[in-house]
A and B are shown apart, each in its own frame.
Chain A
Amino acid sequence: MNLNKTVFSPRKIIKQLASLKLAVITISMIAILTAIGTFVEARYDATAAQKLVYQSIWMELVMGIFAINLTAVIVDRYPWKQRHLAFICAHVGILVVLFGQYLSNNYGLDGSVRVGVGESNNFAVIPGKIDLTVYSSFDGSSYTKLLAREVDFFLSPPTSNKPVIIPTDQGEIRLTEYQKYVVPSRKVVASDQVRAGAGLRFQMHNDKVNVVEWLVQRNPNHVATHDFGPAQIHLGPVPSEGSGKNEIYLFPDESLSGKIRYAVFKKENKLAALSGVVEEGGTVTPGWMGLELRILRYFPRAVETWELKPKDRPTPLTTGAVKVEFQKQEHWLLLNDTLKLFTEKAAYIVTYASRREDLGFPIKLDKFIMDRYQGTMRAASYRSQVTVPEVGAVEISMNEPLKYKGLTIYQASFEDSPQGEPVASVFSVNRDPGRVLKYLGSLIMTLGIILLFYFRKKAQVAKKNEVQG
């Protein structure tokens, strides 16, 4: 008697854990938490909702209690009788589904693959995982990996008080700030980095065309090109022969202190038709189509940086950015972008990007087919004809995925050019170890609900017979 009254009796603990009060509270908590999640998603985006609510510790806690509650309720009914069958099925079903979802979340793969028309790709981008990677080089050509680690700056951003520090031979690379939502625009500024190339802003115009653009060299030997169809403008070393097009080469010659050497090629002749020296504000008349080239701005050494406009909420144009400090200089590094840092002796590459996972085989997009509603540009359906090794040519369309090597490849969306022509197909690639359990659980649960009605009917009939008898 006494033993049964102690708090530690397993039967009693299970009774407590199986209590309906706990069940109702947990159910309500799940409802409230997820409701908050939907509001977060409406105000921010799906990523914010995932990070702040659905994948948060609170959600895991409540789900954990829910699972314990369900288990306890089943154990509490032991020894099970036939009349418990419906009840047990319904609750076991939920448990199995929950476990399946747990497996999918923790051991599954959920990525997307973008393949341009006629191109192939064997990497899937995993949007939920972001890596910070640093490479170093002392000769400028071969790089070694210094660091690679998963970071979550959304939840734990670096600050100037708590920076992320990457030690290198040339001093620390420090990440000191993170911005969740910024709209970036490119900006070219003068630099004193020795390995920086030149930067130049030009205007090309006649009575029909007017183009204003920046050209920036990655390094003094790089050729930066702007192509506008009938002609090309290059910033970089002048070759001895042209490539048979209308081209202008602009070359920053250090001996000319702030002036630029130029050479004009015509498509008829491989040798330069015209050459000379021009400075900021000056013009070159190449002699094709009445075009005139004007040098608007010129930096002998220039780097491209980002100008960032912070926003309160995400839009399709915003991205995340992290501030990198190195050798007393500040740089902004955007998500899925690369930053190069130079010193006299070494070069470093820092990337902050979504993880890419090798599928182990390439997907080649042979053709993207889009059907439209008559007389409009609205898509009615779309499908991709792809080639995958060993499988050969197959078609992937909405609701008709390709299953290969344990992966399922779905038609997710597409990208189109400003003219509305599709240029790339986007697939979602997925491996779901919990799938079987989720279907099984659903089946058991549904069975439970059906049995519930069946047994109730039986009980009613029995009751009726008793009354009549």
Chain B
Amino acid sequence: MRLLIAGMMVLTMGISLNWAAAEESPTKANSGSFLPGIWSAPVGEALRGLPVQDAGRIKPFDSFARELLEMIYGKTTLEGKPAYEVVLTWLLSPQAWQGKELFEVRNHEVLKGLGLDPERRYFKGEEIFSNERFSTLRQELQEKRESKEKLTPYFQSLGRLENQFYMFTEMASGRLLKLVPEAASAQGVAGSWVGVDRLEGETQAAFMVLSRKFIERIGVMAQKGSHEDLLRASEELDLAVKEFKRKARESSPNLYPSDGLADLEVHYNLFHPFRWSYIFYLLAAFLLLFVWITDKGRLMPGVWALFGIGFLLHIYGFGLRVYLAGRAPVSNMYETVVWVSFGSVLFAAILEMIYRFKFILLAGLCVGIFGMVVAGSAPAILDPSLQPLEPVLRSNYWLTIHVMTITISYAAFFLAMMLGDMALFYTIRGEEANREKLKALTLAIYRAKQIGVSFLAPGIILGGIWADYSWGRFWGWDPKETWALIVLLGYIAVLHGRMVGWIRDFGMAVSAVLTFSLVIMAWYGVNFVLGAGLHSYGFGAGGIEYVAAFVFLHFLFVVYTVLVRRARAQLQSQTKT
């Protein structure tokens, strides 16, 4: 096999270099009609749905390649080319990549340590891995790991670099690409599939055909061949993929998956239901803004329709994710952000139906759009890939319920914060002139906080029951549970203050904005800033500067509003006297 691949590489080099130099995505240019690209892989791209065993589950080659390219290059496409094409050429002609700036390094300290320009972000493999300093840094990382101390961002970044190197080498050697279930007698980790470097017999031959057809197709694309040529090459490649899957299935019919699930995941990857959902939210928000400003109430059904489409797409995306992963989608930061966005628009829609204030829906849509855009644009921090669960989180019904209940309360508090922002905005514009609007906003804020508290309190209790059930302790001052409690205490203090009249309308707006920082701490801060405790399966790194800026700007906004209000009050008392 090794020899064959090597032969293939020589054959490929010229072509793939051309391909790598070609600028525009051939897929986009030639994918034909719009719909096949959404509902299933278009002609010539059946390769996307090829089942691969990776990181503890079977996934389509498309997902595998996206995650791999994301890890090494930081994006899921490279110069407009889809991940699956890029990643396959690493295997077929690794030499062609030697001169390419493929490895993303973000940490300036690491770059300085390697003696590289900290202003650059992408580097050639040889610049990093043939660098003598790289082995020194690796040693440093190894020592740090042995000391079992927490890894600082610098060491985390070094760890990623090491991983990038390892994964690229493993992919180039074919070991990483596991395409066929192992025969029962073989050695290695139980249930492990065979990498393409160890394929034998018919599957090996089928893979060789597949590789040749792949190269032919990208060759046609690079040389900008005629439509007929490309169609023929595409159909031949699809046929080769089909043939490979048939051979793989024949070799172990019980272990090889049917096409359905992999194709569905490819559809999920290509369709981006969450992106479509926020596009419709955005349209709804713009129309709503227009309605609000021009007071054209008869356009409201249009707003509801756009919102409804976005909401259905949101649910559809969730449904797909739940079906693909076989679990509720609340196991990492990405999933909770999408879930909270969902909760915000849902609560906003319900309150809007009751009160008909228009701005409640607007606030909900703003939260929804903000959340979905953040979730969709920061894959390095909010990992959108589907990963298997840690043992504690598996097959536990309480877990799902308690996480969903607590995070949905964050959605209500997020909505309250957005309404609070609006109220502060109208306060600055003039309290007298906007008296009606501010009264309505205060009511909406109050309701949103109440909804939040009535989900958070039971959520915490459910968390206690779950902890008691699986660990034998109801409450243990774990940072995640403690911060959820702090959020609850914060909002309860505000609601009690409101009851006796300490907190008036302006106070409700201010507290809606300020108390939300507690939610940010509980939701994001515990996992990304504190990084301690039993909930460590959700820990991550990155984005602190943006989140801190978000909180800080809100504080400034509150301070500014308070100052404006005070100045106005002074002015009034002066004119009176």
Contact = CB atoms under 8 A, between A and B. Distances in A.
B457 A381 contact: no
B388 A373 contact: yes
B470 A20 contact: no
A380 interface: yes
A45 B149 CA distance: 12
A106 B330 CA distance: 36
A24 B477 CA distance: 21
Contacts of A41: 477, 479, 530, 532-533
A37 B477 contact: yes
B415 to A, nearest CB: 19
B428 interface: no
A30 B149 CA distance: 31
Contacts of B392: 398
Given A27-B493, A373-B57, A42 B472 contact: no
Interface residues of B, number: 59
Interface string A86-101: 0000000000000011
Interface string A34-53: 11011101100110011000
B186 interface: no
B402 interface: no
Contacts of B148: 315-317
Contact of A38 (B391, B482, B492): B482
A35 to B, nearest CB: 6
A399 B457 contact: no
Most B CB contacts (10 A, CB to CB) among A20, A27, A429, A453 go to A27
Nearest to B54: A375
Interface in B457-484: 457-458, 461, 464-465, 468-475, 477, 479, 482-483
Contacts of B492: 27
A317 B473 CA distance: 26
Contacts of B474: 100-101, 104, 432, 434-435, 438
A133 to B, nearest CB: 28
A124 B32 CA distance: 68
A20 B496 contact: yes
Given A372-B190, A399-B470, A101 B475 contact: yes
A375 B394 contact: no
B388 to A, nearest CB: 5
Contacts of A54: 477
B189 A375 contact: yes
Interface in A379-435: 379-382, 398-399, 401, 408, 410, 412, 428-430, 432, 434-435
A467 to B, nearest CB: 18
Interface in B5-26: none
A290 to B, nearest CB: 31
Most B CB contacts (10 A, CB to CB) among A380, A401, A446 go to A380
A417 to B, nearest CB: 16
A378 interface: yes
A379 B486 CA distance: 33
B245 interface: no
Contacts of B150: 315
B36 to A, nearest CB: 31
The 5 A-B pairs of least Cβ separation, nearest first, read A373-B56, A42-B530, A430-B472, A375-B192, A316-B148
Nearest to A370: B391
Contacts of A176: none
Nearest to A452: B454
A28 B496 contact: no
B492 to A, nearest CB: 6
B395 interface: yes
B191 A445 contact: no
Given A42-B531, A449-B457, A375 B193 contact: yes
Contact of A378 (B388, B461, B496): B388
Contacts of A442: 461, 464-465
A401 B489 CA distance: 32
7 contacts: A24-B502, A41-B479, A374-B193, A380-B56, A398-B392, A401-B472, A428-B471
B190 A34 contact: no
B490 interface: yes
B490 A31 contact: yes
B483 to A, nearest CB: 6
A211 interface: no
B55 interface: yes
Contact of A445 (B55, B457, B471, B477): B457
B29 interface: no
Interface of A: 20, 23-24, 27-28, 30-31, 34-35, 37-39, 41-42, 45-46, 49-50, 54, 100-101, 104, 110, 183, 313, 315-317, 372-382, 398-399, 401, 408, 410, 412, 428-430, 432, 434-435, 438-439, 442, 445-446, 449, 453
A449 B456 CA distance: 12
B391 A34 contact: no
Contacts of A439: 465
A315 B489 contact: no
B189 to A, nearest CB: 6
B184 interface: no
Contacts of A449: 454, 457-458
A49 B477 contact: yes
B130 interface: no
Nearest to A410: B472
Interface in B24-50: none
Contacts of B395: 381, 399
A379 B56 CA distance: 10
A41 B396 CA distance: 27
A106 to B, nearest CB: 14
B313 interface: no
Given A49-B477, A104-B474, A37 B58 contact: no
Contacts of B497: 20, 24
B499 A446 contact: no
A131 B500 CA distance: 51
Nearest to A55: B477
Nearest to A430: B472
B247 interface: no
A46 B476 CA distance: 10
Contacts of A35: 482-483, 486, 521
B178 interface: yes
B508 interface: no
A430 B468 CA distance: 10
Contact of B192 (A100, A315, A374): A374
Interface string B535-562: 0000000000000000000000000000
A448 B207 CA distance: 66
Contacts of B479: 38, 41-42
B203 interface: no
B356 to A, nearest CB: 18
A45 B391 CA distance: 23
A377 B189 contact: yes
Given A38-B482, A442-B461, A28 B493 contact: yes
A203 B58 CA distance: 49
A442 B530 CA distance: 29
A16 B21 CA distance: 79
Contacts of B388: 373, 378, 380
B532 to A, nearest CB: 4
A398 B470 contact: yes
B454 A28 contact: no
Given A374-B56, A374-B191, A410-B471, A24 B493 contact: yes
Contact of B147 (A315, A374, A438): A315
Given A373-B57, A374-B191, A380-B391, A428 B472 contact: yes
Contacts of A432: 468, 472-474
Contacts of B289: none
Contacts of A408: 472
B493 A38 contact: no
B533 to A, nearest CB: 7
Contacts of B424: none
A140 to B, nearest CB: 39
Contact of B58 (A110, A374, A382): A374
